[in-house]
Amino acid sequence: MSAISIQGLSAGYGGEAVISDISFELAEQQLLAILGPSGSGKSTLLKTIAGFITPLKGSITLDGVLVSSTTSFIPPEKRNIGLVPQEGSLFPHLDVSANIGFGIKRDPNSRQRVEELLEIIDMTEFAHARPQELSGGQQQRVALARALAPKPKLILLDEPFTALDTSLRAQMRDDIRSILTLTSTTAIMVTHDQEEALATADQLAIMQGGKLIAFGTPLSLYNNPQSIAVAQLLGQINVIPAVVEADHSVRTDFGVSATQDSGELNPGESGALIIRPEAIAIGEQLTPNATIVDSLFHGHDSLISVRMDSGLVVKLREPTRIIREPGERCSVSVTRPGTFLRS
């Protein structure tokens, strides 16, 4: 049984739908990242799941129990869903222990549970610290522990890393990831940072304009996107005009290349091949077929623009060994199959 199942969900404020026709299922102990630009409706989706917004259409089923539909509605306090908001979300008048214990006051074992969680988030020595005395990362860990305390069926994280310094983010991502694994918790995280989404999630949902435009594992969505919009949201791409040949292979300026789903292609069809910059390489020993336009040095790698002899400009990424000078001749080839999208 899936931990959460959403069917045909539309919701919004004052009768106006902000998100519409959202459907997906998430298995237990999985972490789903919802990625989308601001205004795409991802926070609205999160609030609807939490129960702060009643749906206009569709349903939400949590662990086999229908919690939201147009006819039945379980209020937030009875859903057993944990919430970790963006920032400054700790109760400022309570210390760390009291914050974590806030939701389990009536539980006779609450003290034990708080200590257990303090250990999990590695903050035992801060038990009596005030939220104001903690760093941003520590605050978010306490907020997570507070949400985990009543052993919720699902944890919702609303852009949990936005308030943190870039240097802290990667560390926090790993911390939260491992805490969730350790506690076998199913979680949904909202983010607008594609790197964060790809690095943290088991499943990825991509939202745009209030609609769910893609759902799948980060790897499959990255390597085999279903639309240019999805491909672009997950990183830089080259869109290269292509035509399907009689043998179902795809012809581009790079010559003939295999694609990932070539079985479904009809000969003669035209469209575009989506190729990531890291799937294109400069090979030194072959006859040159391109000229370097410019080169952006990023430290660990460089992003290089080249103009193919046919006039097409493509971007490629290579580990930085030498700085490529504009005007330099080189030979460029595709090292990994791209994805063909019909136009």
Partner 1 sequence: MHSKDNAKAPLLLFWGAALCACIAAIPLVYLAIRIGGAGVSQIVSILTRLRTWETVGISVGLAVVVVTACLLISYPTALLLTRTQLPLRRFWFTTVALPLAIPSYVAAYAWVALFPGMNGFWAAALVLTAVSFPYVLLPLLISLRSADIGLEQVARSLGKKSTAAFFATTFRQSIPAAAAGSLLVALYVLSDFGAVALLRVDALTRVIYTSYRASFDRSNAAVLAGMLVILAVILISLERKARGRSLRFRADKGVASITVPKALTPILSALSSLWFIAIAVISLGIPITSLLIRLAEGTRRPLDWAELMNAVVNTAWISALGAVIAVLLALPIAALSSKFHRKSTSTIESISYSGLALPGIVIGLSLVYLSLNTVPFLYQSFVLLAFAYAVLFLPKSLGASRSSLEAVPPALAQVAQTLGYSPLRAWLYTSGRISLPGIAAGGLLVMLTAMKELPATLMLRPTGFDTLATELWSRTELAAFGAAAPYALALILLAATPSFALSRSFLTSEKETMVVV
| Shortest Cβ 180–partner 1 spacing (Å) | 17
* In the complex, least distance from residue 206 CB atom to partner 1, rounded to whole angstroms: 24
Cβ 86 to partner 1 shortest distance, Å: 7
Q: Distance between terminal CA atoms of the chain?
A: 38
The site string for partner 1 over 136-175 (x = CB under 8 A, - otherwise) reads -------x--xx-xx-x---x-------------------
Q: How far is the CB of 88 from partner 1 (least distance, A)?
A: 6
Length of the chain: 343
For 37-69, the DSSP string reads -TTSSHHHHHHHHHTSS--SEEEEEETTEEEES
The DSSP secondary structure of 166-194, one letter per residue, reads: HHHHHHHHHHHHHHHHHTT--EEEEES-H
**Single-letter residue type at 161:** F
Give least dist CB 219 to partner 1, A: 32
Nearer to partner 1, 62 or 237 (CB): 62
Q: Which is nearer to partner 1, 6 or 143 (CB)?
A: 143
Nearer to partner 1, 77 or 325 (CB): 77
Residues 51-110 interacting with partner 1 (rule: CB under 8 A)? 52-53, 75-79, 81-83, 85-86, 88-89, 91-93, 102-103
Among 14, 64, 263, 299, binds partner 1 (CB under 8 A): 14
**How many residues bind to partner 1 according to rule CB under 8 A?**
29
Are 273 and 340 in contact by the 8 Å Cβ rule? The answer is yes
Q: What are the φ/ψ torsions at residue 170 (nearest 5 degrees)?
A: -60, -45
Residues 6+ apart with CB under 8 A from 84: 140, 143, 144, 147, 155, 156, 157, 158, 160
- Please say which residue, 87 or 202, places its beta carbon nearer to partner 1: 87
Residue with tokens 């257990």: 116
Question: CA–CA separation, 112 vs 290, rounded Å?
Answer: 66
Q: How many Cβ atoms are within 10 Å of 210's Cβ, its own excluded?
A: 21
Q: Does 298 bind partner 1 (CB under 8 A)?
A: no
8 A C-beta contact, residue 343 and residue 290: no
Closer residue to partner 1, CB minimum distance, 43 or 208: 43
The nearest distance, CB 85 to partner 1, in angstroms, is 4
Query: In the complex, what is the shortest distance from the CB of residue 150 to partner 1, in angstroms, rounded to a whole number?
Result: 6
Contacting positions for partner 1 (CB under 8 A): 13-14, 50, 52-53, 75-79, 81-83, 85-86, 88-89, 91-93, 102-103, 143, 146-147, 149-150, 152, 156
